[in-house]
Amino acid sequence: MLLKSLMERNGMGNFRQLHTWSVKNSELFWSQAWDELGIIGHKGSPVRSGANFTGTKWFEEAKLNVVETLLAGDFEQEVLVELSEHVPRRALTRGQLRVEVAACAAALRASGVKKGDRVAAWMPNVQETVVLALGALSLGAVVSTASTDFGPAALIDRFGQIEPVFLLTTAEYQYGGKSFNLRDKIDQVVSELPTLKKVVVVGGLRAHQSWEEFLAPHRGTELVTEKLDFAHPGFILFSSGTTGKPKCIVHSAAGVLLKVLSEQGYQLDITPGDRVFYSTTCGWMMWNWLVMALGRQATIVLVDGSPAYPEITKLWSVAEEENLTFLGVSAALIDSWRKRALVPKSQFDLKNLKTIASTGSPLAPSGFDWVTESVSDSVALASIAGGTDVCGCLVLGVPTEKVVRGEIQGPALGLDIAIFGQDGQEVAQGEDGELVCRNDFPTVPLRFWGDDSGAKMRAAYFERFEGVWAHGDFARATVSGGFEILGRVDATLNSRGVRIGTAEIYRVVMNLPQITGALAVAQPFEGDTRIVLFVVTDEDLDQDLIKIIKSSLRDNASPRHVPALIVSVPDLPKTRNGKLNELALADIISGKPERDSSTLANPECLDWFRQWAKDAPNAAR
């Protein structure tokens, strides 16, 4: 086990001692991680210079390209498997993947893509998306991906900010046994992204080249990678807040590689030859996380489509047939299996499965019990938490320690994790507070795209507690050294593990002529959260109007934006300057202590919501 070797090399008797050492000696820890995790490139020195989160520079003298690490190893090893609803299993060896990446890089170069350009993908979770990402990274281009369930408005809100020069998309995709045609939507998206120089469509579209046509002239080209600084941008991820367009978070590809490999290698025990799956789309940072597992010389398994189609047991069939050693899913999916009383161990051969990882929302104690009783009492159950902002984990598994039901086992190595009260002081174990990190690390974002002064990034992470990363999660530290995540500090919604900005919902709903006001909040529900949309209408909220609202959100944003519940209300809480006050309502709906409402212009309207929260079926719990 890689974690044990790190402990022994540094004279540590247990993980807690090692973690303390890794924080106090972060330069030495990250330097050792570079070497032990097999990062290919010139490391140089110093490892770290500068001070504080925004002033620190990592590996200033380094020159590398992450693709060299991701494609290193035995050319005959099968490393990329794709399972889709509508096509047979596809697989690539490392050698074949390298050939595809080389052809893609040459084709991008021939299309005028150069270092620093943004390359976008609006794609299913298929091998072409991975090949494009690696091809672009090899040139030093910046990769940004979105899943096909995002509608044109939500997509343009994201890609429109970063001005991509290249777009890869698909003519159609399948989900839940249904086929969805994107051809008409592609024209709309392309028309609103004027910086595009090249559009390639998997499956073909008369106006644009197909993927095969794009690659064909360049097959047989040798892969040549651009050597880049450690801080060279590689990924742009999107994270939505409660107002405005999604934040465009710029990450160093090298920083993501080093941080994620440290998580996978040390704390999730992913080893060369393992077969790793995470249930994700390419619109979630867990897709980037999964691709990084190539750097552990593991085989990554992509499953596109519904995790419950054609059967609720689909992913357990995948685990058996693909000999998975690592199965990553959302807490909500585990809970759905529990409610269906599935017993995978009685139906499937899971002898190779070492680890089940859960993220996206807190995993309830009942979920831990179900895994132990219905899957295996020996599999490592790693509840993990972090997110888009860090493209990795703040807290996660500890393979040398016992799993405690209902808890995330421990902090990430190299990160000084704590729980702060509102006064900026660390609270005692068992007390609720905000999850923070007190030291910098390699996946602190380089910047937000377009935020030249850095003001938006400072406001997002560093204004609440001076010099400390405030992650935006309520949490508590446990007596066993673990953590419990309690929910979001702000009113950003969490839908099936993906953060959704309320502004994205309002942008669609408020275009409907029947709607005069809307406010969305997340409500604790059956061990997870659900989105509740409160609307003010000029006509009765009947089933026809509910269908219109839901279909509008599904078509123009994504299925994740569709609320679980839509409720008609007489009025919505507003501040004196007319801004909706989501936090006041979120407190009531979630059953939390209410904050000061003196800034509201209409505080009396909260009485209606208090009564609704008390009387509504399946209300806050």
CATH value at residue 519: 3.30.300.30
363, 447: one domain: yes
pLDDT > 90? residue 577: no
Report, as an integer, the average pLDDT of 278-305: 96
Residue 294 is encoded by which pair of tokens?
């190539």
The DSSP line for 355-377 is: EEEEESSPPPHHHHHHIIIII-S
443, 507: one domain: no
What phi and psi, each to the nearest 5 degrees, are found at residue 137? -60, -35
Reduce the DSSP state of residue 436 to 3 states and report it. Answer: strand
Q: Is residue 252 in a domain? A: no
Strand ranges of the sheet holding 483-488, from the earlier edge strand across to the other edge = 417-420, 433-437, 469-477, 483-488
485, 575: one domain: no
510, 547: one domain: yes
Q: Is residue 545 in a domain? A: yes
461, 405: one domain: yes
**Number of C-beta neighbours around residue 578 at 10 A:** 7
Residue 316 is encoded by which pair of tokens?
């357990």
pLDDT > 60? residue 598: no
pLDDT digits (tens, 9 = 90+) for 89-98: 999 999 999 9
Q: Is residue 583 in a domain? A: yes
Strand partners, 170: 202
Print the domain residue range for 457: 1-54+266-277+298-490
pLDDT digits (tens, 9 = 90+) for 548-565: 999 999 988 888 899 999
Q: Is residue 519 in a domain? A: yes
Burial class from Cβ neighbours inside 10 Å (0-12, 13-18, 19+) for residue 359 reads: buried
Q: Where among 468, 490, 512 does a domain terminate?
A: 490
Report, as an integer, the average pLDDT of 398-425: 95
pTM score, whole prediction: 0.86
Amino acid symbol at 212: E
- CATH number of the domain at 409, please: 3.40.50.12780
- The per-residue pLDDT for 617 is 57
pLDDT-derived band at 576 (thresholds 50, 70, 90) equals: low
Report, as an integer, the average pLDDT of 367-383: 95
353, 449: one domain: yes
What is the DSSP code (8-state) at residue 604?
Answer: G
Least confident of 125-129, 204-208, 384-388, 524-528: 524-528
Alpha-carbon distance values, 487 to 161, 280, 300, 301, 479 (Å): 29, 21, 30, 30, 20
- The per-residue pLDDT for 498 is 66
Number of domains composing the chain? 2
pLDDT > 70? residue 240: no
440, 312: one domain: yes
Q: Answer whether 227's CB lies under 8 Å from 65's CB.
A: yes
Q: Is residue 238 in a domain? A: no
438, 307: one domain: yes
Reduce the DSSP state of residue 558 to 3 states and report it. Answer: coil
Q: Where among 426, 459, 490 does a domain terminate?
A: 490
- The per-residue pLDDT for 352 is 97
Can you state the percent helix, strand and coil of the chain, rounding each to 5?
Answer: 35, 25, 40
423, 340: one domain: yes
Report, as an integer, the average pLDDT of 207-226: 96
Q: Is residue 407 in a domain? A: yes
Alpha-carbon distance values, 307 to 84, 281, 401 (Å): 10, 11, 30
Residue 236 is encoded by which pair of tokens?
């742009």
pLDDT > 90? residue 204: no
- The per-residue pLDDT for 597 is 64
pLDDT > 70? residue 157: yes
Report, as an integer, the average pLDDT of 31-55: 95
| Interstrand relation of 392-396 and 385-387 (parallel, antiparallel or unpaired) | antiparallel
Alpha-carbon distance values, 499 to 240, 242, 475, 560 (Å): 6, 10, 17, 9
Residue 212 is encoded by which pair of tokens?
């095969």
Q: Where among 490, 525, 546 does a domain terminate?
A: 490
Reduce the DSSP state of residue 117 to 3 states and report it. Answer: coil
Give the HSE-up count for residue 273: Cα atoms under 13 Å, Cβ half-sphere.
1
What average pLDDT is seen over the chain? 92
Alpha-carbon distance values, 202 to 113, 123, 155, 539 (Å): 19, 9, 18, 44
Distance CA 344, CA 106 (A): 45
- The per-residue pLDDT for 242 is 52
Alpha-carbon distance values, 294 to 72, 202, 274, 382, 413 (Å): 9, 24, 10, 20, 21
pLDDT-derived band at 545 (thresholds 50, 70, 90) equals: very high
| 449 vs 366 pLDDT, higher one | 449
485, 537: one domain: no
Distance CA 417, CA 385 (A): 12
pLDDT > 60? residue 619: no
Q: Is residue 286 in a domain? A: no
pLDDT > 90? residue 493: no
pLDDT-derived band at 618 (thresholds 50, 70, 90) equals: low
Alpha-carbon distance values, 13 to 36, 289, 380, 398, 557 (Å): 19, 29, 21, 14, 50
Residue 162 is encoded by which pair of tokens?
């970063």
364, 415: one domain: yes
- The per-residue pLDDT for 171 is 95
Which of 121-125, 242-246, 514-518 is the most confident on average?
Answer: 121-125
Alpha-carbon distance values, 494 to 330, 339, 521, 620 (Å): 12, 21, 10, 16
pLDDT-derived band at 621 (thresholds 50, 70, 90) equals: very low
Q: Kindly state the helix (H) or strand (E) to which residue 174 belongs, with its residue range.
A: strand 172-175
- The per-residue pLDDT for 365 is 86
Least confident of 84-93, 551-560, 612-621: 612-621
Distance CA 105, CA 133 (A): 10
Does residue 88 have a cis bond before it (omega within 30 degrees)? no
pLDDT > 80? residue 533: yes
Which of 378-387, 521-530, 575-584, 607-616 is the most confident on average?
Answer: 378-387
Strand partners, 229: none
What phi and psi, each to the nearest 5 degrees, are found at residue 78? -70, 120
Q: Is residue 382 in a domain? A: yes
Q: Kindly state the helix (H) or strand (E) to which residue 486 belongs, with its residue range.
A: strand 483-488
Buried b (16+ CB within 10 A) or exposed e, 431-446: eebbbbbbbbbbbbbb
406, 537: one domain: no
Residue 36 is encoded by which pair of tokens?
């032990």
pLDDT-derived band at 603 (thresholds 50, 70, 90) equals: confident
